[in-house]
Structure 1
Amino acid sequence: MTEFDLREQLITLARSIFMRGYSSGSSGNISLMLPDQTLLVTPTNSSFGDLDPNRLSHITMEGERLSGDLPSKEYPMHLAIYQHRPHTGAIVHLHSHYLTALSCLQGLDPKNCLPPLTPYYVMRVGQLPLVPYFRPGDPQLGEAVGKLASRHNAILLANHGVIVCGANIRDAIFNAEELEETARLYFQLHSMNYNTLNQQNVDELTTVFKSAR
């Protein structure tokens, strides 16, 4: 796809996320890799609902702004993932309702914050590790995320939200949507007796579908 096509795709998918309630106000940010290995990033204080394709921030992998508005203050977290997970084509950071609620719970398993409720969670995400709280934009947050990025395509940020990557922007958003739906199911079921996939089920899915686990 050309840069023009990718800009338009980012705008369309971001608006879709906004209209369906995965993002509110100016929360969250998106980035994607261009064919020349530079990045488009949603601007600081922008809304997914009314992005302008011509004002998207265009930056290098070193964080130098080439054109457009100032990038989201959380772009270093995106850079850390691209640097440690080089096959990543796009990244979505959301403050979506159920995943943000999950990030505020005590007693989470930092290696995997959600049980394997469905095959789709296992196939698209595999495991959801947790990083401790750092203020938004803190370089330490990028460092913490970068340490996990080579082994995981989604990371929960304590008391903050989630960051999810994919091979391209559609893949990243589909991964994020599946993850949010799994968190919603978890909150609906957690006070009940529920079944999860067993380890054999998880291993089979991981082998057959080469999931992110």
Structure 2
Amino acid sequence: MSDSKWREEICRYGRSLFERGLTPGSSGNISYRMDDGGWLVTPTNASMGFLDPARLSRLDSAGRLLSGDPPTKEIPLHSALYDSRTSARAIVHLHSTHAVAVSMLPEIDPRSVLPPMTPYGLMRAGQVALVPYHRPGDPAVADAIRGLAGRYSSVLLANHGPVVASTSLEGAVFATEELEETAKLYLLLRGLNPRYLTPAQVGDLVTTFGLEVPHPGHVHNASCVDGSCVGLARLATPASDD
């Protein structure tokens, strides 16, 4: 696909996310890694609902601006996720309401933010890690993401929002949407003792769809209070990017 087509695709997906209230105001950003190792990325202070393809930031492989408007201040987190997940071609970062809300709850296990609730939650977003709060644009967030060693395709920034990588732009968008819906379900069912997927059901998904689970068998809901988790650990690593 040509450079101009990718620009159009980024703007099309950005508008879709904006129109459904998943990225309000000028929040959120999208990047796509080109064949030459450089990126197309949404500009700083730009609304995802009103992106201009010609004004997207074009960066070289070292992150230097080649053309377009200045890029999003969140370049460090994009760079860190690309560096640690070399198969990634696209990254979506949103400030979606339910995912942000979940990131602020005291019981969240940073190794496994959400329990296995739906098949597509695991198949698209995989398991989600929580990264401690950093101010937007803080280079230290890159170290936190690199510290995950590429095990997660979906990361939730505390008090901030989700960051999702995939092998395709479409995959990153769909996974981000699925993460938001899973977070919404979690909040709706919180305190109601819902029936999550069983280890056997998760194991069937892993086998059937080839999901990446380095620690099979440790798949269930965990209850965490003040940082201490009891019960079985949840799925510890993300599903595949596809």
**TM-score scaled by length of structure 1:** 0.97
- Offset, 1:191: 2.4
CA contact (8 A) 2:59 2:67 kept: yes
- Change in CA separation of 1:149 and 1:136 when aligned onto 2, cut-off 3 Å: farther
Aligned with 1:148: secondary structure? coil
Partner-residue secondary structure (3-state), 1:12: helix
Which residue identity lines up with residue 153 of structure 1 in the other structure?
S
- How far does the alpha carbon of each residue in 1:166-196 deviate from its partner, in whole angstroms, 9 at most, with x for none? 1111100000000000001111111212100
Give the CA deviation at 1:76. Answer: 1.2
Other-structure match for 1:48:
48
- Which aligned runs of 4 or more in structure 1 are off by greater than 6 angstroms? none
**Any gaps of 5 or more consecutive residues in structure 1?**
none
Unaligned 5+ runs, structure 2 = 212-237
More helix by share: 1
Determine helix, strand or coil for the equivalent of 2:147: helix
Higher mean displacement: 199-208 or 175-184: 199-208
Say if 2:100 and 2:160, in contact at 8 Å, map to a contact too: yes
Where does residue 75 of structure 1 map in the other structure?
A: 75
Task: Give the alignment's Cα RMSD to 1 decimal.
Answer: 1.1
TM-superposed deviation, 1:149: 5.5
Q: Return the offset for 1:198.
A: 1.3
Aligned to 2:15: 15
Within 5 Å, give how 1:60-71 maps onto structure 2.
60-71=60-71
SS at match of 1:152: coil
TM-score, normalising length from structure 2? 0.85
Larger-gyration structure (1/2): 2
How far apart are residue 62 of structure 1 and its match?
A: 1.8
Match of 2:26 in 1: 26
Report Cα offsets for 1:14-56 as digits up to 9, x if no partner: 0000001101000111100112221011000000010010110
Q: CA deviation at 1:146?
A: 2.1
Supply the distance in 1 between the matched residues of 2:137 and 2:156 (Cα, whole angstroms): 15
Preserved contact between residue 81 and residue 149 of structure 1 (Cα < 8 Å): no
1:171 correspondence with 2:171: yes
1:61 deviates by: 2.8
Equivalent residue number for residue 112 of structure 1: 112
Residues 155 and 164 in structure 1, CA contact (< 8 A), matched pair in contact too: yes
CA contact (8 A) 1:11 1:48 kept: yes
Matches within 5 A, 1:65-104: 65-104=65-104
Contact in 2 for aligned 1:77/1:146 (Cα 8 Å): no
2:139 is matched with 139
Which amino acid is 2:191 matched to?
A: S
- Aligned partner letter, 1:142: A
| Stretch moving more, 200-209 or 169-178 | 200-209
State whether structure 2 residue 154 is matched by structure 1 residue 154: yes
What SS is found at the alignment partner of 2:31? Answer: strand
Match in the other structure for 2:194: 194
What CA distance in whole angstroms lies between the structure 1 residues aligned with 2:61 and 2:153? 19
**Letter of the 1:6 counterpart:** W
C-alpha separation in 1, matches of 2:68 and 2:203: 45
Structure-2 separation of matches of 1:168 and 1:126: 15
Letter in 1 for 2:193: N
Q: For the residues of structure 1 that align with 2:112 and 2:60, how far apart are their CA atoms? A: 32
Which AA in structure 1 matches 2:72? S
Structure 1 residue matching 2:200: 3-state secondary structure = helix
- Identical pairs, percent: 48
Q: Tell me, what secondary structure is at the counterpart of 1:179? A: helix
Q: Equivalents in 1 of 2:170, 2:159: separation in Å?
A: 26
